[in-house]
Amino acid sequence: MPNIELITIFSVIVFASALAYKSSFLHNKKIGYISLLQVFYLILIPGILYSLIFSYILEVLDRPLNKNVFLKDSLLITFLLLSVLYTYGGVAIHSICKTLNSYFEEKQSLAFKVNSYFHRDFSHNLVFIGAIATGTFFALLELNHGSPYPEQSKFLIIILNGLFVGLASILGLSFYKEKSWLELKFFFLSLWIMIIVLGYAARTYLKVLKSYPFTLMMLIVFSFLASLNIFLFVRRFKHKIKVIWRIPKNAKDTIHFRH
């Protein structure tokens, strides 16, 4: 199957997975003790995505190598498979801990708090960091090889793929409340590292970037996530400034009394 079609299928599945999280039916419908949503996330979707990843690797490795190689293919594939492994590990931890969360009767117990930590902080960072690392290594592997696509080949589809995955990423993060964003500090730090790495590797291909569909898609996705991080940082900075300059009521009364 051609590379662009694989990317399109991948993008649609990722977008559908993000939408599925909002479905109350999938949350409430259970198979045994596990919700239907967790069955999708734990078994069905990873199997499909892993098959697409394997097909993608084979398709790219058949292409001739470029003169400028950022990292050797063997090293990139090792990193790619490790990042896929850690991403699925995070998904498995999240699914199990979220399932266990609904069966705890004592919400203040130490066991519940430990389970909640693995459910939120640990698994979310592991999944999100693994996902952007996987995307980055995919793109670097693609840049190592010559592209079989003309610059104008299905350019609109590539842009739409980037928008789909970018929106899916924002949807996946949308359940976080203002105070919970700090839980993802390691993810956002990793995001900027991946942006720098991919941007540096892609700098020599800027004129022909339209011929590299996955790399172009990842740059669009990274622009979505970077914009979100900048927005959250500015909002938090403004909030801190307001808190610093806000004068409490009792302070105003004290000043008035002294005069």
Look up the pTM and report it.
0.84
Q: Which two tokens stand for residue 46?
A: 């990873």
What one-character-per-residue DSSP string does 33-89 give?
A: TEEHHHHIIIIIHHHHHHHHHHHHHHHHHTSPBPS--SS-HHHHHHHHHHHHHHHHH
What's the residue count for the chain?
259
**DSSP label at residue 105:** S
Instruction: Say what the pLDDT of residue 223 is.
Output: 93
Bridge partners for 194 per DSSP: none
For residue 192, give every residue at least 6 positions away whose Cβ sits within 8 Å of its Cβ, in sequence order, or none.
226, 229
d(CA 129, CA 189): 9
Instruction: Say what the pLDDT of residue 161 is.
Output: 85
What one-character-per-residue DSSP string does 156-199 give?
A: HHHHHHHHHHHHHHHHHHTT--GGGGGGGHHHHHHHHHHHHHHH
Low pLDDT (below 70) residues in the chain: 1-3, 149-153, 175-180, 239-240, 242-259
Q: Which two tokens stand for residue 153?
A: 């080949």
Instruction: Say what the pLDDT of residue 127 is.
Output: 92
d(CA 189, CA 187): 5
d(CA 170, CA 50): 22
Instruction: Say what the pLDDT of residue 141 is.
Output: 93
